[in-house]
Amino acid sequence: QKEVEQDPGPLSVPEGAIVSLNCTYSNSAFQYFMWYRQYSRKGPELLMYTYSSGNKEDGRFTAQVDKSSKYISLFIRDSQPSDSATYLCAMTDFYTGTASKLTFGTGTRLQVTL
């Protein structure tokens, strides 16, 4: 079983819909929780990150982390066709003095239709 589980989709929604994406994980050492967006044939780009549990909002995007349930979510409000991409959750712990590798989910492919 993978450390991070994510439904690969695809997920198709109409423009303007609220999108909910989520991941579960098993490693309780994870401290940082990220959402990356990846367009076709491009590298991942960071959307949001959260340290430990809690919510974070940035424009149309809201990230939630529930460490007690080992469950993270990304909500996209008023979805746009330009939001069509693969959304990857990623997690890491941290070690003092070194950077830490990211552990990714499979990615959920999102299609926002007109």
Partner 1 sequence: GAGVSQSPRYKVAKRGQDVALRCDPISGHVSLFWYQQALGQGPEFLTYFQNEAQLDKSGLPSDRFFAERPEGSVSTLKIQRTQQEDSAVYLCASIPTGLAGPSSYNEQFFGPGTRLTVL
Residues that bind partner 1 (CB under 8 A): 4, 6, 8, 31-32, 34, 41-46, 49, 51, 88, 90, 92, 94-107
3-state secondary structure of 107: coil
Listed in sequence order, the residues at least 6 apart from 83 whose beta carbon sits closer than 8 Å to its beta carbon are: 19, 76, 110, 112
Nearer to partner 1, 17 or 47 (CB): 47
Nearer to partner 1, 6 or 79 (CB): 6
Shortest separation between residue 96's beta carbon and partner 1, angstroms: 8
Shortest separation between residue 16's beta carbon and partner 1, angstroms: 28
Q: CA-CA distance, 62 to 47, in Å (whole number)?
A: 10
